[in-house]
Amino acid sequence: MLSNTNLDRSYALRREEVRKSIKNVYGKIGTPIDFGELAFLTVISAVMSMLWGGTQGGAEGVHFGAELKTLLADLMVVFGAPNVSDFFLVLARFDLQGYEKRAKSIFEWIERILDSVIEKRRNLVEAKEEGSGSLMNEQRKDFLQILLELTERDDAATSLSISQVKAVLMDTMVGASDTTVTMVEWVMAELMEHPEVMEKVLEELTEVVGLDNLVEETHLPKLRYLDAVIKETFRLHAPLPFIVPRCPSQSSTIGGYCIPKDTRVMINVWAIHRDPKIWDNPLEFQPERFLNSKWDYSGNNFHYLPFGSGRRVCAGLPLAERTLKYIIASFLHAYEWKLPQDTEQDLSDIFGLVSKKLNSTIAIPTPRLSRLELYTK
């Protein structure tokens, strides 16, 4: 699913959803748009297409996306909030803060969606088997079909249960959508807060893509300044301020501190990325620091860890990097975005498993491209 080969093959799906969003925005020219919601509907539609080849269309899709966005935002807050039972284990079974109940409700809602998708796929497969004797004909299998076939294996070591299939789908859907959307919104917010940086990004897009074309993934490697903007946004607004916890398998001494075996270790990426011993003017938004630099997302340099490091580095890194850059480049190239008149941005965030903007990014789009048909095809 996340190999470069499969990501190349699924580009048409991502492209289709981005083009739909560009077309939809054209019908709202001159009116304020919730940019985070726009990004979420685009990302979740692309992810669902790659997972099981289907999206929620029309008004139903807008309602579904808006509800899912709200639920996932609540889930990230629940996961990141301090829990008294973490400090007083005897209280764990009481769920005093209601976090377990809220999380369970969200997971049940998502599970109902997955049950419906799996049932429809099984019915489709059965119908095709009866009609042609071929499981999926010659069409390439999507992620769901591969997982469902694993449930039919007799080998316990390589087979999956339906519960495991749903868990994988849920993890992929949540992980691939929520952090990507959060970063798209942060990038746009920082660009509107720094118009001189926005101007440089637009100049680069005009030069590389041209105003008579839409952005393609083949353009992305040439968008070096936009890449620096995205990396600087990751530095200031790490999607996971505390990356996935580690537990050492044996006691260790690090920096003069003894870390006992099985201790839960929290890595404070938010603090590392703002450390004045590492970064000049760490609180300032300066994309130039990433131009022609050594910094990347691999996690090999422990001063910059937006996706973690080592064997537990984010499995969705290739997908996230492509999707984020493609979406933000497409929206910036197709439209000029400005704040509503007499309004100011609030760059405050809300603490959770994922660090989100406290208030939505609202912007008004104006067309940039030279031909009307680019917005309507």
Which of 93-102, 142-151, 199-208, 337-346 shows the lowest per-residue confidence on average (mean pLDDT)? 93-102
Render pLDDT for 351-373 as a digit per residue (tens, 0 to 9): 766 787 888 899 999 999 999 99
Render pLDDT for 222-272 as a digit per residue (tens, 0 to 9): 999 999 999 999 999 998 888 878 888 999 998 899 999 999 888 999 999
Q: Is the pLDDT of residue 273 over 90?
A: yes
Render pLDDT for 96-146 as a digit per residue (tens, 0 to 9): 456 677 777 777 878 888 888 888 888 887 777 666 555 444 455 678 888
Q: What is the mean pLDDT of the chain?
A: 83
Radius of gyration over every alpha carbon of the chain, rounded to an integer in angstroms? 22
Q: What pLDDT is attached to residue 3? A: 77
Q: How big is the CA angle at 11 (ends 161 and 54), to the nearest 5 degrees?
A: 50
- Which is higher by pLDDT, 178 or 25? 25
How many Å is the maximal CA-CA distance in the chain? 69
Name the CA dihedral angle for 175, 178, 183, 185, rounded to a multiple of 10 degrees.
170
Q: What pLDDT is attached to residue 97? A: 55
For 7-11, what is the mean pLDDT?
84
d(CA 56, CA 82): 35
Which of 10-19, 183-192, 199-208, 328-337 shows the lowest per-residue confidence on average (mean pLDDT)? 10-19
DSSP track, 68-132 = HHHHHHHHHHHHHS--HHHH-GGGGGG-TTSHHHHHHHHHHHHHHHHHHHHHHHHHHHHHHHHHH
Render pLDDT for 33-89 as a digit per residue (tens, 0 to 9): 999 889 888 888 888 888 887 654 443 444 455 566 566 656 655 555 555 455 545
Render pLDDT for 143-181 as a digit per residue (tens, 0 to 9): 888 888 888 887 777 788 889 998 888 888 777 777 888
Q: Which domains does the chain show, CATH number per domain?
A: 4-376 (1.10.630.10)
Q: Is the pLDDT of residue 296 over 50?
A: yes
Q: What pLDDT is attached to residue 98? A: 61
What's the pTM? 0.82
State in Å, rounded, how far the first CA of the chain is from the last one. Answer: 29
d(CA 72, CA 178): 7
> Is 314 known as a binding-site position?
yes
Q: What pLDDT is attached to residue 365? A: 96
Q: Is the pLDDT of residue 201 over 90?
A: yes
Q: Are 33 and 365 in contact (CB under 8 A)?
A: yes
Q: What pLDDT is attached to residue 95? A: 52
Q: Are 223 and 329 in contact (CB under 8 A)?
A: yes
Q: What pLDDT is attached to residue 62? A: 43
